[in-house]
Chains A and B, each alone.
Chain A
């Protein structure tokens, strides 16, 4: 018997602007159930997986993600994270998860000081996560970025620990060689990091947008690999 479609909750903060894109991507392109959840909600009951979407929550005032982490819904996100449900933060969502302490490190201004929007190549560093389990190790994904503050930063000890625990899930690489190079790093991220998970592996933050790569019409369907893996993990967690 097929397991029921998982229900994704997509958080909506004042200033989120990829919230509707995420819902459409999940519903129309992946065939999952997805609902918007207003940031003032105290509960996330009934959801099997959570998306913290991109955008400019609170206008990025103070610091990207710094205001959003105080929203009531973030308490519920913390509880679900401890309970082991898959939670993904995309772009501004990644920044929020870092600010909330669910992921280590921080995202700072791009090296060029410009906002950058374009498709890039990302290498899957490990398939051992509920987000990359549908990829193969070393697979190159074509996903777009769109951010002004996506330069991943952490101290050397933290970076070493991330590497040792295989928490780096995605790295910016050169599409031809598949290797990280200075030229293929769009924002100056430490060790070319594009996405990391927590030690427990159920919370994932990434700067690229899987929600913008879930239909061939948009130039890539590689984003679906991530959402589909997440859905499978959510289903088995529910069982």
Chain B
């Protein structure tokens, strides 16, 4: 008899014996297996082994990172739901409203199948938000790919990426962007911001981190707990198929050449179905007393949602797989339990309210089924029709007692240090044009034009400014959000790099007029069993934790993605920081671009730079070298407090932080990111400082903000900044159609139109 080919090739059958090989194939160690035997008091059957393997994968259990994550500050007066407590954290934004937000990665699936990988990443994070009872309101994303242009020859030693590699990276980039657009646009959530960088360390292992925020009334917070003994358990949403089988386990391995064969581990998304599911769940949750608990089926699907809800509720859950709506015939228990089919939820209704569930899901024409009930014995008990009980595991131990590891950490050889004297000064005029046209700095319009950023009628500051600003009509609140991480900095000095990522996110929010309130993070690292990788992870976590504490922005949740390695090496450590802020009054909303001729341009913060880790060094000289520019949290916080105070006093007409490309790129951006091009003339006098021109123009020292003010207010602003013991100086004035930068020795001038053309034309020229 011929086998039907669409069956998952390696799906084990229930009767397979549990040999050490089978245990190893499930990614479990012999010690972990012994622990399972101890918990069960017997050997697991194959289905149970599969359940443990996904629940104890890094993706679900954080077994290698959990001890580190405990270092994050997670509490604060505004924290309504803490990190790790539920599917997403919730922060108070006043007047009885809260914001739920979280970031999650879909790196491995996107490497194998960029369109569906990215699309289902978006779907997953949206479910995490509406599971909390929140109405999702906007999305961000943070993306990393290998180079899509030929780097300068010396950059990567002898291993310059091949034409084929560049073509692959472009295909991944285009595929991920259309996948995000496909899902977000269809479900009707605006994608309003994010970041994209290209670096050889991501060749073959792109990063796709997606962020979703939602709003809710405090009393609407839904819990993912199976409470109320005897309550019915409903399965709602899409039918279960064989897609995405054991995706969590797939995400917890390194990518190899053979990973392409894991394509069945990538799920297929249906944003239309998720839109129906979203509306139906919110409609049901709005009915007082109908729902006791709700949980999405994401990683590890039905398995994870049943044991986690039982564990949180301090109860047990018993389900019958024969009752689960299925897309294919002949699925066995192993497949149904481990499937990661998308757009599914588990709902624990209150007894007697079953009719409410039925009515709502019938209205939205979605499959639903009552598949079990809450029990009092603490067991996750799975029946499969006439086959009887196929798995029986103590829910709490399964969900909460995965082994925790403290992998060995070893500091790698220090990053090479730049000897400035050996570095030729490149032509500054041409360098700025080249930097602005580099994919890391160039306009992202090619990308965000494909995202519906206007649906839900709240996008006040569109993508392309320092932070996106969104008006939440329901709550009458203005939220600002950003995601940031300079992974080059993190590669060179992980601890400081991570602190700078938090600082930059906060600075971007402040530049838009917002007070930062909380953080979600996405920790993307290599294989933690390599001591150098784990050292980077630990350093970055400690850096993030210290900075979040200093900014008073608790971490409300996030995601860990390890094993990000291509055949060459691990990715640069990339602890992406997603930060949300709140803008007190509409008139405080501030944008990056220069506004009126005659306005005074001021620099608050130090003028001194440092080329270590800069894009100038990286992209034009081909050197990834430190040391990083000096950074300390105290002066950063003083700077941000000062600028926010100035904005609230109504003295600031524009504000823009200095990051990639340094002061010169920041000034150029101020000239052309607004509705009309406008020039500026500035003088960067550095007498006594002995600074090189390239360092002055392109050095990437943090803690600096370019603000403009009316000529009349300039002196007052400088005095206010200096009163806070900040360096502040007048740089020049807005006007004309050229950007003119005077240094002590030279007058540099660019036509703004030329700068704009270089910046705006780069991505379309590469991608269209």
Give, as a whole number of angstroms, the nearest-CB distance from B765 to chain A: 15
The answer to whether residues A115 and B365 also contact, given A24-B473, A218-B454 and a CB cut-off of 8 A, is: no
Give, as a whole number of angstroms, the nearest-CB distance from A144 to chain B: 5
A232, CB-defined interface residue at 8 Å = no
A121, CB-defined interface residue at 8 Å = no
Q: How far is the CA of A209 from the CA of B453 in the complex (A)?
A: 13
For window 51-67 of chain A, which residues contact chain B by CB distance below 8 Å? 55-56, 58-61
Q: CB distance B272 to A59 under 8 Å?
A: yes
B594, CB-defined interface residue at 8 Å = no
Q: CB distance A115 to B275 under 8 Å?
A: no
User: What 1/0 flags go to B358-387 for Cβ under 8 Å of A?
Assistant: 000001110000000000000000000000
The answer to whether residues A212 and B454 also contact, given A17-B275, A114-B449, A217-B586 and a CB cut-off of 8 A, is: yes
Give, as a whole number of angstroms, the nearest-CB distance from B13 to chain A: 36
User: What 1/0 flags go to A48-90 for Cβ under 8 Å of B?
Assistant: 0000000110111100000000000000000000000000000
Give, as a whole number of angstroms, the nearest-CB distance from B391 to chain A: 35
The answer to whether residues A115 and B456 also contact, given A56-B186, A56-B271, A56-B272 and a CB cut-off of 8 A, is: no
A15, CB-defined interface residue at 8 Å = yes
Residues of A within 8 A of B753 (CB): none
The answer to whether residues A21 and B275 also contact, given A116-B450, A117-B452, A217-B586 and a CB cut-off of 8 A, is: no
User: What 1/0 flags go to B246-282 for Cβ under 8 Å of A?
Assistant: 0000000000000000000000001111011000000
Q: How far is the CA of A209 from the CA of B457 in the complex (A)?
A: 11
A233, CB-defined interface residue at 8 Å = no
Residues of A within 8 A of B314 (CB): none
Q: Which of A28, A38, A60, A112 contacts B186 (CB 8 A)?
A: A60
Q: CB distance A15 to B275 under 8 Å?
A: yes
Residues of A within 8 A of B453 (CB): 117
Give, as a whole number of angstroms, the nearest-CB distance from A91 to chain B: 10
For window 101-127 of chain A, which residues contact chain B by CB distance below 8 Å? 112, 114-118
Give, as a whole number of angstroms, the nearest-CB distance from B326 to chain A: 21
Q: CB distance A58 to B272 under 8 Å?
A: yes
The answer to whether residues A14 and B471 also contact, given A58-B272, A61-B272, A146-B454 and a CB cut-off of 8 A, is: no
Q: Which of A55, A58, A211 contacts B457 (CB 8 A)?
A: A211
Q: CB distance A14 to B276 under 8 Å?
A: yes
The answer to whether residues A218 and B272 also contact, given A17-B188, A17-B455, A114-B450 and a CB cut-off of 8 A, is: no
Give, as a whole number of angstroms, the nearest-CB distance from B486 to chain A: 28
Give, as a whole number of angstroms, the nearest-CB distance from B239 to chain A: 16
The answer to whether residues A217 and B272 also contact, given A17-B187, A114-B449, A116-B449 and a CB cut-off of 8 A, is: no
A25, CB-defined interface residue at 8 Å = yes
For window 182-230 of chain A, which residues contact chain B by CB distance below 8 Å? 209, 211-212, 215, 217-218
Closest A residue to B460 using CB positions:
A217
Q: CB distance A56 to B449 under 8 Å?
A: no
Residues of B within 8 A of A28 (CB): 473
Q: Which of B181, B186, B455 contacts A59 (CB 8 A)?
A: B186
A96, CB-defined interface residue at 8 Å = no
Closest A residue to B274 using CB positions:
A59
B173, CB-defined interface residue at 8 Å = no
Q: Is the interface of A mostly helix, strand, loop or mixed?
A: mixed
Give, as a whole number of angstroms, the nearest-CB distance from A96 to chain B: 15
Q: How far is the CA of A55 from the CA of B189 in the complex (A)?
A: 11
Residues of B within 8 A of A118 (CB): 449
The answer to whether residues A15 and B457 also contact, given A59-B271, A117-B449 and a CB cut-off of 8 A, is: no
B537, CB-defined interface residue at 8 Å = no
Q: How many pairs, one residue from A and one from B, have CB atoms within 8 Å of each other in the complex?
A: 81
The answer to whether residues A209 and B449 also contact, given A217-B460, A217-B586, A218-B459 and a CB cut-off of 8 A, is: no
Q: How far is the CA of A183 from the CA of B363 in the complex (A)?
A: 45
Q: How far is the CA of A118 from the CA of B449 in the complex (A)?
A: 6
Q: CB distance A55 to B450 under 8 Å?
A: no
For window 563-597 of chain B, which residues contact chain A by CB distance below 8 Å? 586
Q: Which of A55, A117, A209, A215 contacts B451 (CB 8 A)?
A: A117
Q: How far is the CA of A217 from the CA of B273 in the complex (A)?
A: 32
Q: CB distance A21 to B455 under 8 Å?
A: yes
For window 74-93 of chain B, which residues contact chain A by CB distance below 8 Å? none
A18, CB-defined interface residue at 8 Å = yes
Residues of A within 8 A of B270 (CB): 59
Give, as a whole number of angstroms, the nearest-CB distance from A99 to chain B: 17
Residues of B within 8 A of A56 (CB): 185-186, 188, 271-272, 275
Q: CB distance B460 to A15 under 8 Å?
A: no
Q: How far is the CA of A34 from the CA of B666 in the complex (A)?
A: 45
Q: CB distance A24 to B457 under 8 Å?
A: yes
Residues of A within 8 A of B181 (CB): 115
Residues of A within 8 A of B448 (CB): 117
Q: How far is the CA of A49 from the CA of B496 in the complex (A)?
A: 60
Residues of A within 8 A of B271 (CB): 56, 59
User: What 1/0 flags go to B269-299 for Cβ under 8 Å of A?
Assistant: 0111101100000000000000000000000
Q: Which of A38, A146, A215 contacts B452 (CB 8 A)?
A: A146
Closest B residue to A148 using CB positions:
B185
Can you list 22 A-B pairs with a CB-CB distance of less than 8 A?
A: A14-B276, A14-B365, A17-B188, A18-B188, A18-B455, A24-B457, A24-B473, A38-B363, A56-B186, A56-B271, A56-B275, A59-B272, A114-B178, A114-B449, A115-B181, A115-B185, A117-B450, A117-B451, A146-B454, A146-B455, A209-B454, A212-B457
- Residues of A with Cβ closer than 8 Å to B? 14-15, 17-18, 20-21, 24-25, 28, 38, 55-56, 58-61, 112, 114-118, 144, 146, 148, 209, 211-212, 215, 217-218
In order of increasing CB-CB distance, the 4 nearest A-B pairs are A17-B188, A59-B272, A56-B186, A21-B457
Apart from A28-B473, A56-B275, A117-B449, 9 more pairs, CB < 8 Å? A15-B272, A21-B456, A25-B457, A60-B186, A112-B768, A115-B451, A146-B454, A148-B185, A218-B460
- Residues of B with Cβ closer than 8 Å to A? 178, 181, 185-188, 270-273, 275-276, 363-365, 448-457, 459-460, 471, 473, 586, 768
